[in-house]
Amino acid sequence: MSVLLAQGVEVTAGEAWTFWLLAPIAVIGALGMVLARNAVHSALWLVLTMLALGVFYVVQSAPFLGLVQVVVYTGAIMMLFLFVLMLVGRDAADSLIETLRGQRAAAVLVGGGLAALLATGTYRWLEGTPAAGLAEANAEHGGNTEGLANLLFSRWVLGFELTGALLIVAALGALMLTHIVREPGERLSQPEQMRARFAPGNYPAPKPGPGVFATSSSNTTPAKLPDGTASPRSISPILPIRELTAAEAADKETER
């Protein structure tokens, strides 16, 4: 069973089923990437779309491109992007801050115009071009990987080398921007840290956690000392300040 397109390209039933099953997933992932307010969630939605695209490449007789899509883009670049996001600690509240007034509306207008321009240009460029699969191109060079290598290192070798140089410059720029120069005396050695920890007035042992030797296992319950009083080391320094502020407010109300 197969479907016959207007251009005379034969699409098998498995190909059609794969498309109709994964195309909605790819579109949902793309919409989730754009609409997600959290940067990590947006990256995960993009991973879903890239996985669907990798399967599409494999179905269209391009196994090498599908493997590169999954291993390089999804497995390497996106995971690195997620690692950087989690390391930096981006929050959903960061997206609410606009450094330029009206930048959201401008981004929507420019993005919509660019999408319309690309769609129109692609349609006019491919208008009247008969559709063809990769079977003939793969057979010409003995396989998909060989055919792609022949194009990259012959016709597009200059663009390939320039892209590699651009990626190297970007990596070096990222290293230079994240590199922190420390003076020789700023970084403490391990013996110096040990001496500072055991200096008079410091507490070398770990601080007792909330709930230790307490009547409750709640994290908000302070640790108890042998005399029954709360251990100051198990109480956040913010809490006494808040209690003092509340007491001062109560005193002011009493004075009134």
pLDDT greater at residue 238 or residue 214 = 238
Residue 195, pLDDT score: 82
| Residues whose CB falls within 8 Å of the CB of residue 65, separated by 6 or more in sequence, listed in order | 57, 144, 148
pTM of the entire predicted model: 0.51
Residue 89, pLDDT score: 61
Report how far residue 57's alpha carbon sits from residue 50's, in angstroms, rounded to the nearest whole number: 11
Taking Cα atoms as reference points, which of 25, 79, 16 lies closest to residue 52?
25
Residue 2, pLDDT score: 37
CA distances from 253 to 190, 242, 246 (A): 53, 17, 11
Residue 117, pLDDT score: 94
Q: pLDDT tens digit string along 123-142?
A: 888 888 776 667 777 777 77
pLDDT greater at residue 246 or residue 154 = 154
- All domains of the chain in start order, with CATH: 8-92 (1.20.120.1200), 205-255 (no CATH)
Residue 5, pLDDT score: 43
Strand partners, 127: none
pLDDT greater at residue 55 or residue 174 = 55
Q: What is the average per-residue pLDDT within 155-175? A: 89
Print burial letters for 117-146: b (CB count within 10 Å at least 16), e (below 16): eeeeeeeeeeeeeeeeebeebbeeeeebbe
Percent pLDDT > 90 in the chain is 14
Q: Is it the case that residue 4 has pLDDT exceeding 50?
A: no
